[in-house]
Amino acid sequence: MGDKSGFNQRLEGLRLNVNALKEVRVHVPTGMAVIPNKEGKRGSLQVYASITTNDGYIGVEEARRGLELFGSELRQEAAANPGKHPNIDLLENIVQSKSRVRTDVVREYSAKPVPESLLRELPVMVKAFGTPFHVYDETGIRQAAKELNAAFSWVPEVDGFGFRNYFAVKALPNPRILKILRQEGMGADCSSSLELQIAQSVGLRGEQIMFTSNDTPASEFRQARDLGAIINFDDLTHLDFFIETAGDFPELVCLRYNPGGLKTGNSILGNPTEAKYGLTREQLFEGFGQLRDNGVKRFGLHTMVASNELNPDYFVETARILFETVRDLSAELGINFDFVNLGGGIGTPYKAEQKPVDLMRVSDGIINAYYNLIENSGLPPLRVVMENGRMVTGPHGFLVSKVLHVARKHKDYVGLDACMANLMRPALYGAHHEITILGKEDAERTHVYDVTGSLCENNDKFAINRPLPEIEEGDVVVIHNSGAHGHAMGFNYNGKLRSQELLFREDGTTEMIRRAETPQDYFATLNFKGSRFSELAR
């Protein structure tokens, strides 16, 4: 029978919502093998969906991972019974022949719908504002903020407040959005002078702002200090640099910890031992000692070791490491900590079948660690804070674009009026973003396309080998999950202009919260004294 219970446990670990999967189509040399979503096939379906790369392939590395998921007993059974487990045989074949096959993961259309109210309004927005645009759903954003706050409502108050998420402004640096988040009780996590200005513009003040930067200029340290922000130092050398260039330390100071080999990172932030951020454990002892000796009274400890992480246990483990470090630092240096900041990085399900992070499970695990390591060690109450960006706004943003051309070459291409200057995650990380075609939400996904932008870069693709309904020129394409690290990463390469941003308000109306860039914006930096091309900016 093979190792069924081990197999099921490994499938469980994938945390996939199998109902969101329709089938996986594997392009084998003899034609197409389909793994349907039906009794007896669901295990293989999940394995194949999880190992298929975002650009729709299974190669040697993926096949090896798939064979690990099936497990050694099932592999032995497959070897002893030729033909009984064709999905295992195929993976063995890929490894042996060092080949790769194209694989299309087909999701159920309803699996990751655009909210109904927004879907109804999109045609009106397209007409009124033109494409492309990012639109953010206020209801969804507020809901996400409330869920995060509720999960951590147990956090004790220190200096008048308990849990706080300092929204990572870099994820969506639009003051209108930050204002909404401020109303939901969030602070701001800023990494630069301009982000500090955005936080200030919505009325955030003092310790409602965390300043986490690296390779920081003196002027930014001074700006953060003058605002009364909590400064989070990234390196020991920055402490002397601060004193020399900005003056005395504030009363409350935070240090960023890089736990190195204690923690494994992930593909976006990389392995902590290779990461440029934060102090080593030994440096923390030296740094906090130096701060104490320089009159600092209140202390915070921060880390940020992963981005877009879907495993809830990851955050519990991070909290445990920070609590242990606070315990050891307090004992050694005789100082008390106000807070630990677990960083951001709570992931969101970019793929329809991925399950979101269970915040209550994260919270329960952290409570447990808190009681064991802080309360039971007789330490004073410690605030737990975070600085998530993506999980708050990511799933509630949509990049809306029109199809300019449908081209049939060696493959079929859908060319949009948006490009990677509007959303570069797919090109930068090979990230997956779900796509809905307006008015064809329920149509069969009968075609396979590369969905492209217009940059002179072949990686300017929002999706590769993506099963979609048949697409025509003029169709409106909605790219999901653009609400974090989307518009913010925009750039002007190829003379492309950043798009407008819209807010779909709770009352059903739409508000422009950033206009599209104009040629005058693009040429503005040519307008300087002595320039021969100032007229381009007019």
Ligand X SMILES: Cc1ncc(COP(=O)(O)O)c(C=O)c1O
Among 261, 270, 255, which residue's Cα sits nearest to residue 309?
A: 270
Query: Is 168 a binder of ligand X (CB under 6 A)?
Result: yes
Smallest gap from residue 379 Cβ to ligand X (A): 25
Classify residue 202 by its DSSP letter.
T
Options 156-164, 300-308, 421-429, 456-464: segment touching ligand X (CB under 6 A):
300-308
CA angle 274, 275, 277 (to 5 degrees): 150
Smallest gap from residue 190 Cβ to ligand X (A): 10
Q: State the DSSP string of 122-167.
A: HHHHHHHH-S-EEEEEHHHHHHHHHHHHHHTTTSPPBTTB--EEEE
Q: Which of residues 104-143 bind ligand X (CB under 6 A)?
A: none
Options 60-68, 195-203, 338-346, 353-361: segment touching ligand X (CB under 6 A):
338-346
Per-residue interface string for the shown chain with ligand X, residues 344-383, x marking contact by CB under 6 A: xx--------------------------------------
Query: Is 343 a binder of ligand X (CB under 6 A)?
Result: yes
Query: Is 484 a binder of ligand X (CB under 6 A)?
Result: yes
Classify residue 379 by its DSSP letter.
P
Over the range 372-389, which residues count as b (16 or more CB within 10 Å of their CB) and which as e? ebbeeeebebbbbbbbbb
Residue selected from 21, 94, 122, 304 as contacting ligand X according to rule CB under 6 A:
304
Smallest gap from residue 306 Cβ to ligand X (A): 8
| SS3 (DSSP) at 215 | coil
Smallest gap from residue 147 Cβ to ligand X (A): 15
Among 350, 342, 393, 365, which residue's Cα sits nearest to residue 151?
A: 365
Options 192-200, 342-350, 360-368, 448-456: segment touching ligand X (CB under 6 A):
342-350
Tell me whether residue 318 or residue 388 sits nearer to ligand X (CB atom).
Answer: 388
| SS3 (DSSP) at 492 | coil
In sequence order, the 6+-apart residues with CB closer than 8 A to the CB of 302 are: 210, 212, 232, 254, 255, 256, 257, 340, 341, 343
486 within 8 A of 397, measured Cβ to Cβ: yes
Q: Which of residues 205-234 bind ligand X (CB under 6 A)?
A: 212
342 within 8 A of 317, measured Cβ to Cβ: no
Contacts with ligand X: how many residues (CB under 6 A)?
15
Options 303-311, 493-501, 508-516, 530-538: segment touching ligand X (CB under 6 A):
303-311
Tell me whether residue 265 or residue 389 sits nearer to ligand X (CB atom).
Answer: 389
Q: Which of residues 387-426 bind ligand X (CB under 6 A)?
A: 387-390
Smallest gap from residue 188 Cβ to ligand X (A): 11
Q: Which of residues 7-36 bind ligand X (CB under 6 A)?
A: none
Tell me whether residue 358 or residue 517 sits nearer to ligand X (CB atom).
Answer: 358
| SS3 (DSSP) at 448 | strand
Residue selected from 91, 171, 435, 479 as contacting ligand X according to rule CB under 6 A:
171
Instruction: Determine the number of helices (DSSP H) and then strands (DSSP E) in the chain.
Output: 17, 21
Smallest gap from residue 165 Cβ to ligand X (A): 9
Binding residues (CB under 6 A) for ligand X: these are: 168, 171, 189, 212, 304, 307-308, 343-345, 387-390, 484
